[in-house]
Chain A
Amino acid sequence: MILIIVVVVILLIVWIISIYNRLVRLRVEVQQGWANIDVQLRRRYDLIPNLVETVKGYAEHERGVFQRVTEARTQAIDAKGVAETGAANTLLGQALGGLFAVAENYPDLKASTNFLQLQTELANVEEMLAAARRYYNSAVANYNATQNTVPTNIIKNVGDFSEAEFFEEEDEAVRAAPQVSFQQ
């Protein structure tokens, strides 16, 4: 009888530990997902000064657009937390959209190798950012859904588990970057 109780208790403990470990694993996935987004965001921020300088070389008097992009970039870099970063990057995407719209009016600029290369690089970063965001958001969905099921919702109080935020950025950011076709 005692043996049975001992076995049941041990199984119960193992079960609780496995649920706890699952939560930890899902949290790590969310954190990794966020780290991936951060890497791509940094690449995006790093490209922008170059891009602005290049466009400036051809379209010097469009100061409003440059200022908007530069300010949006600073805000995005300073943003804290998922929601704020998402909102700031939405603005940055819109500002970039404005920059590319201006670039449309300058054929010399559009033909310059430097601009084309930056355009391609930015398109690459935007693609990776979209991919990283997809992964992060599905990790968040997974993590949050697991926390809300019985008995995980009780066990989660043992550790430092709270619901993660989705990274939402309006599609403008993706659309702002021109679609570069790789087909020759």
Chain B
Amino acid sequence: MTLQQQIRSNRWRTLLLLLLFVVLIAVILLVVYPFVDLGVLSVVGIALIAYGLFMWFAAAKVVASLAGAHPITRDQHPELWQAVEATAVGAGLPVTPAVYIIEDPAPNAFAAGRDPKHAYVAATTGLLDLMGPRELRAVMAHEIAHVRNRDIRLMALASVLAGMLLILSDILLRVFIFGGGRNSGNNPFALIGVIVALILAPIGAAIQMALSRRREYLADATAAEITGDPEGMARALAVLEADTRQVSHVGRATAHLYIESPLVKGRGLTGSLGGLFQTHPPLEDRIRVLEEAGGFTLDRSFLATVPVQ
């Protein structure tokens, strides 16, 4: 598969997954509709929409403060700035995104913002210490790819939707358990509703994660195209693979934003079932995909000179 084909097929899958997400919310509403008071439902609905709108506009700022990222000027990190500027031009972005720094020795980076004009890319100080110019450009191109492919918009939307879904299932659970609906309490169908809500919430989470994994492959491919250097991207991923340090200040909510999964490996579910809830594909898989698309074999010997920990 060429990079172009990969990008196209990834777009379709993403669209499909997002559609599933919307259908999921519709199904929940349809299932619970007979059991819940309309007044309650509309109050919940309005509250949810208000929450969604607020999160939509505040998300980028919230994410920055959660991650401990702060904006910098060109003079503070000229080499990082140049990497961001050059890759933004290569991606054909209308404006160069703002550049943020996270004081953290673990190498990682992410992009956020609801559209390319309100976007920023953030890099940890650890990333700057470990990456050479070539790898730094690859990582920034990966983040810029998230911006250009509108991943940041989609992921912002997905996490807002996931949050809404979580709140909805939470509220419904309480309504069913403590009553408040017109047929509440003894209705056996209420139990079905509870079960449906309980099953659907994790499915929603799994869909969001699958969405995130797809996006990582796509961003790697786009980054390789932007820099014209697939091997540089693979080298950067190899450095991230070799370094085992983890970024602090990360929760489940923001994990999907980073270039490398910032969550401790082996925590929670593992194996194939655990894979369902991973935000990122394994780095070795991502490197292999780049090798196949770019037609090269990564020589890892350069890692000997990189001070990974």
Which residues of A pack against B, CB within 8 Å? 29, 32-33, 36, 40, 124, 127-128, 131-132, 134-135, 138-139, 181-183
Contact = CB atoms under 8 A, between A and B. Distances in A.
17 contacts: A32-B92, A33-B92, A124-B85, A128-B89, A131-B226, A132-B89, A134-B90, A134-B226, A135-B89, A135-B90, A135-B91, A135-B226, A138-B225, A139-B92, A182-B78, A182-B82, A183-B132
A36 B133 contact: no
A182 B86 contact: no
Contacts of A135: 89-92, 226
A128 B227 CA distance: 10
Nearest to A36: B89
B90 A132 contact: yes
Nearest to B83: A182
Contacts of B227: 131
A138 B4 CA distance: 11
Given A29-B92, A36-B89, A36-B92, A134 B133 contact: no
Contacts of A40: 89
A181 B82 CA distance: 12
Contact of B228 (A33, A132, A134): A134
A183 B133 contact: yes
Interface string B65-90: 00000000000001100100111011
What are the 7 A-B residue pairs with the smallest beta carbon separation, nearest first? Answer: A131-B90, A182-B79, A135-B92, A131-B89, A127-B86, A182-B133, A131-B86
A27 to B, nearest CB: 14
Interface in B201-248: 225-228
Contacts of B132: 183
B82 A127 contact: yes
Q: Is the interface of A mostly helix, strand, loop or mixed?
A: helix
A36 B95 CA distance: 11
Contacts of A181: 133
A139 B4 CA distance: 13
Contact of B82 (A33, A36, A124, A132): A124
A94 to B, nearest CB: 22
A127 B86 CA distance: 7
A128 B87 CA distance: 8
A134 B136 CA distance: 19
Contacts of B89: 36, 40, 128, 131-132, 135
A50 to B, nearest CB: 18
A33 B228 CA distance: 16
Interface in B104-132: 132
Nearest to B88: A131
Contacts of B82: 124, 127, 182
Contacts of B133: 181-183
A128 B226 contact: no
Nearest to B77: A182
Contacts of B79: 182
Contact of B86 (A29, A32, A128, A138): A128
Nearest to B136: A182
A46 B51 CA distance: 50
A128 B85 CA distance: 8
Given A40-B89, A131-B86, A182-B133, 5 more contacts: A131-B89, A134-B228, A135-B89, A182-B79, A182-B136
B95 to A, nearest CB: 12
B216 to A, nearest CB: 22
A96 B94 CA distance: 30
A131 B225 contact: no
A139 to B, nearest CB: 7
Nearest to B137: A127
Among B78, B92, B225, chain A packs the most CB atoms within 10 A around the CB of B92
Contacts of A139: 92
